[in-house]
Amino acid sequence: MSDEVMYLYAVTDADLGDAEIDDMRAVDGAAVHIIAEAPVAAVVSAVDAERFSASALRRNLENLQWLEDVARAHNAVVSDLAHRRPVAPVRLATVFANTENVRALLRTRAQDFVAALDRVRGRREWAVKGFVGLTDPPSAAAGSTDTLSPGRSYLERRRAERDSHTRHIEEASTEADAIHNRLVKLTLANRRYPPQDRRLSGYRDEMVLNAAYLLPAGAEIEFRRVVDEYHEGHLRLELSGPWAPYSFATLEGDQ
């Protein structure tokens, strides 16, 4: 009888103790378990085999509420751990048939996990997003359309607005590249994500920077100061973190 499978959250050093995971709640409210195979340990919980089968997952990943519940539970476990110790978070919904298969993974990839943990040891991930407001009414071409017919004049005005909007975004993107390059100099690694769709993020402004940075503890004050005091051009910055090192605890061969 095997109607439960192992959901894997993260890999950490093998000295993880039960006391550190006692109060954690996992996906579906289940308890968190440790599978240690020195020098590393996996943090897992049992999930229903039916709900986490390949076909069910395909279906469930398109269910916003399901996706949100699992994502938040996953992040709760990972970020709790990350506040105490180095972790290599695993991608959402990685499931193994049983404990022995997780052990086998830890044995065969031990050196890769150790390398990933060493990359983030004593370091934290911070995120910076850059926005450009789209509220400025473009005034381009005013007056120059006087001699045109009303219809033609309207089209010309629309075209001018569109051009001005595009220019606005281009200028902000150039500013985003510049501040990103400044931040990169303060950090050990960085990763740029595609700007989020406004329909998803709920932001009114256009996102032109969506980046993650890996910082040694000693660089955090300066990094945060630079972001905080940034008041240049069209760009507005937003800082979040510290995050568990999702963007940086990757294994060789990962993207």
Partner 1 sequence: MTLAGPRDELALVDLLDRLLAGGVVLTGDITISLANVDLVHISLRALISSVSTLVEP
Q: How many residues bind partner 1 (CB under 8 A)?
A: 63
Segment contacting partner 1 (CB under 8 A): 92-100, 132-140, 163-171, 214-222?
92-100
Q: Taking CB under 8 A as the rule, does residue 57 contact partner 1?
A: yes
Q: Are 195 and 208 in contact (CB under 8 A)?
A: yes
64 vs 217 by CB, closer to partner 1: 64
Give the pair of three-digit tokens for residue 210: 């969506």
For partner 1, which residue of 35, 179, 210, 223 counts as binding (CB under 8 A)? 210
Cα–Cα distance between 130 and 119 in angstroms, integer?
Answer: 27
Quote the DSSP letter at residue 15.
T
Segment contacting partner 1 (CB under 8 A): 17-25, 108-116, 140-148, 169-177?
108-116
Give the pair of three-digit tokens for residue 192: 């740029």
As measured in angstroms, the least distance from the Cβ of 50 to partner 1 is 11
Question: Which SS3 state, helix, strand or coil, does residue 110 take?
Answer: helix
As measured in angstroms, the least distance from the Cβ of 170 to partner 1 is 24
Q: Taking CB under 8 A as the rule, does residue 233 contact partner 1?
A: no
With b meaning 16 or more CB within 10 Å and e meaning fewer, what string describes 92-103? ebebbeeeeebe
Q: Taking CB under 8 A as the rule, does residue 228 contact partner 1?
A: yes
Q: Taking CB under 8 A as the rule, does residue 111 contact partner 1?
A: no
As measured in angstroms, the least distance from the Cβ of 191 to partner 1 is 8
Question: Which SS3 state, helix, strand or coil, does residue 214 take?
Answer: strand
Q: Taking CB under 8 A as the rule, does residue 216 contact partner 1?
A: no
Q: Are 70 and 28 in contact (CB under 8 A)?
A: no
96 vs 176 by CB, closer to partner 1: 96
Q: Taking CB under 8 A as the rule, does residue 229 contact partner 1?
A: no
Query: How would you list the strands of the sheet with 123-132, edge to edge?
Result: 189-192, 206-216, 123-132, 235-243
CA torsion through residues 209, 115, 46, 104, sign = positive
Q: Taking CB under 8 A as the rule, does residue 92 contact partner 1?
A: yes
Longest pairwise C-alpha distance within the chain: 83
Q: Which residues contact 156 (CB under 8 A, 6 or more apart)?
A: 141, 144, 145, 148
As measured in angstroms, the least distance from the Cβ of 245 to partner 1 is 8
Residues in contact with partner 1 by CB under 8 A are 5, 8, 11, 49, 52-54, 57-58, 61-64, 67-68, 71-72, 74-76, 79-80, 83, 88-97, 101, 105, 109, 113, 116, 127, 191, 193, 196-197, 199-202, 210, 212, 227-228, 238-241, 243, 246-247, 249-251, 254-255
